[in-house]
């Protein structure tokens, strides 16, 4: 699915959800709502930092698995049935804490994670040795890592260093998960903070920089094709996705530092349209907090035409970017605020984590 700008004039609204039980679930199952499917208990005493879904091959068959990351342990869970999950692999970290999971599409039996304290210092691959099924870690990259993203065709892109010392590298994995080719991309003269693959344009990669520019690379040649400065009102934006249509570039960004206004409310996600030929940009869709909701953007994830965000109030909000409005709210339950949210890469499920480290899996309608 793609985000169509024809809905740009719609006013962001929201359907309110009601809670009828002391569980983090939405009881109204109209389209756009959430249904609780199952729960994973925190296997560690440390707080959860990330969650992801991936395919894992076992006994010749691929099955969708859940990866949970705490500061000192990463765990792989396989489904026993639609409601229960079993922990099958665990990787421990005693020296450098885990910061996030880095999913790499099209790769089986391999998990990439970012390690560091306040900033990313290492990227490691987690896998299992053939034969004895024992867990091992492989260092892929170290240094002052500013950004990374898993790309289609088993690739991982990373940005290391700043300005003239910046290195942008593509690493391609073999079918068995071992690293294979390495390719350097031409660095811009600005520090890259986020990456996004451009749907609809083969071999195109987008990046956002510290001085509010968007850059585009050709992944085949490594050439830097274009650098475009966007409006300063989008300063400190985080890019979550991009696609190309009819020569225009559509980019979904979040705005953690955006100021609340009486006319627009509290903006969370924004859809920008950029003309690469003229470097002109305009905002066509703004996703703001529904009336009566407080808080600011904490973290979020975008998949196809749906966007989810954890707010500083502890609530999770979901927007349909085709309709241009909020479709579901998941409030805190029993004083346990939500701390992270991810869309599953294997199905239409939403993965939500609480501060106590427990992970809840929802089906999104």
What does DSSP assign to residue 161? S
Phi and psi torsions of 2, nearest 5°:
-125, 160
pLDDT, mean of residues 65-91: 91
* Measured distance CA(320)–CA(162) in Å, rounded: 36
pLDDT greater than 70 at residue 17? no
Spatial CA neighbour of 318 closest among 257, 273, 362: 362
Q: Which of 19-28, 242-251, 270-279, 323-332 has the lowest mean pLDDT?
A: 19-28
Which tens digits make up the pLDDT trace of 165-212? 899 999 999 866 777 789 999 999 999 999 999 998 889 999 999 888
Spatial CA neighbour of 187 closest among 209, 206, 164, 210: 164
pLDDT greater than 70 at residue 319? yes
Q: pTM score, two decimals?
A: 0.85
* Measured distance CA(40)–CA(261) in Å, rounded: 39
C-beta of residue 155 within 8 angstroms of C-beta of residue 172: yes
The pair of three-digit structure tokens given for residue 348, joined into one six-digit string: 């239409």
* Measured distance CA(238)–CA(287) in Å, rounded: 14
What band does 233 get if pLDDT is binned at 50, 70 and 90? low
Q: Which of 125-129, 221-225, 360-364 has the lowest mean pLDDT?
A: 125-129
pLDDT of residue 32: 55
Q: Which of 7-16, 69-78, 98-107, 329-338 has the lowest mean pLDDT?
A: 7-16
What does DSSP assign to residue 81? S
pLDDT greater than 50 at residue 115? yes
């Amino acid at each position: 699915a793609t985000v169509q700008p024809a809905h740009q004039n719609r006013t962001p609204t929201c359907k309110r959800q009601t809670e009828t039980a002391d569980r983090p679930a939405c009881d109204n199952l109209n389209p756009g709502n959430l249904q609780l499917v199952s729960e994973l208990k925190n296997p560690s005493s440390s707080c959860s930092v990330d969650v992801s879904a991936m395919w894992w091959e076992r006994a010749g068959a691929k099955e969708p698995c859940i990866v949970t990351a705490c500061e000192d342990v990463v765990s792989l869970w396989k489904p026993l049935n639609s409601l229960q999950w079993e922990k099958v692999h665990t990787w421990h970290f005693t020296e450098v804490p885990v910061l996030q999971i880095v999913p790499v599409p099209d790769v089986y039996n391999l998990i990439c994670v970012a390690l560091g304290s306040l900033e990313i210092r290492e990227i490691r691959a987690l896998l299992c040795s053939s034969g004895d099924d024992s867990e091992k870690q492989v260092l892929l990259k170290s240094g002052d890592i500013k950004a990374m993203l898993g790309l289609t065709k088993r690739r991982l892109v990373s940005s290391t260093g700043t300005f003239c010392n910046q290195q942008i590298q593509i690493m391609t994995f073999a079918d068995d998960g071992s690293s294979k080719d390495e390719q350097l991309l031409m660095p811009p003269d600005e520090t890259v903070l986020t990456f996004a693959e451009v749907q609809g344009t083969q071999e195109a990669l987008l990046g956002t920089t510290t001085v509010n520019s968007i850059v585009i690379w050709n992944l085949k040649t490594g050439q830097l094709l274009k650098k475009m400065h966007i409006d300063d009102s989008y300063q400190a934006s985080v890019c979550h996705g991009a696609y190309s249509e009819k020569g225009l570039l559509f980019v979904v960004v979040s705005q953690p530092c955006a100021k609340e206004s009486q006319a627009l409310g509290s903006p969370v996600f924004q859809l920008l349209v950029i003309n690469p030929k003229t470097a002109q940009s305009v905002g066509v869709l703004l996703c703001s907090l529904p009336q009566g909701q407080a808080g600011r953007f904490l973290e979020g994830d975008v998949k196809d035409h749906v966007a989810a965000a954890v707010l500083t109030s502890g609530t999770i909000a979901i927007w349909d970017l085709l309709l241009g409005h909020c479709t579901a709210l998941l409030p805190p339950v029993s004083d346990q605020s939500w701390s992270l949210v991810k869309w599953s890469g294997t199905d239409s499920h939403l993965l939500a984590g609480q501060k106590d480290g427990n992970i809840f899996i929802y089906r999104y309608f």
